[in-house]
Structure 1
C-alpha cells in the first residue's frame, strides 16, 4: 500500500511539472515574438524551410510541440542539422507568443 501511495505521488508530481513547464501567463510575448522572428522565421520563410507562423498551428498543437522544454522542437531541428540557441525561458516566451497568435486564438498572427 505504501509503494502505491508513493507511486501515485510520483506520477502526480511528474505530470504537474510538465504542466508548469509552459506557463503562458509568465511568458514574455514581446520576447517570444522576437525569438520567433530571429530563430524561426529566419529559415521558415518558404525558401529554406516550409513557411511557418503562429497561425499555422492551434494552441494545443503548439503546446505539444514546445512541451518538455522544447524536446520535440529540438529533436526535429537536430535531424535537419539545425542548432537552436534557446533556453527554458526562451521556450516559455515562444510558447506565450504562439499561444496568443495561434490559429484558434482571438487574433491569429502571421508574424510579418
Structure 2
C-alpha cells in the first residue's frame, strides 16, 4: 500500500494531505519577532491539516523552530505562534491531557 501524501502519528489514522500545497514563503526570517500583516497561505494550509488530524512525525517534531519553519515553509513567527500551539494542543488531546 502506498502512503504517498498521507501521514499519521501517535497511533492515529493516516491523514491524506490536501493537494496542492501553497508555495513556501520566500524568506522565513522576514517575520521572526513580529507577526506578518497576514498569515501566509502555506501557514493556513498546515493549520487546516493539523485541525483535520495531521501531526508531524518524531523527526520533524524534534527540529528547532528555525528548521521546523523551513520544513513547513512558513515564517518563523507563524510556526511559533500558529502551528506549534496547534500541534501541542493536538498532542494533548490525543494523550487525554489538559489543553489549559
TM-score normalized by the length of structure 2: 0.30
Structure with higher Rg: it is: 1
- Structure number having the greater helix percentage: 1
Q: Which has the higher contact order (CA 8 A, sep 6+)?
A: 1
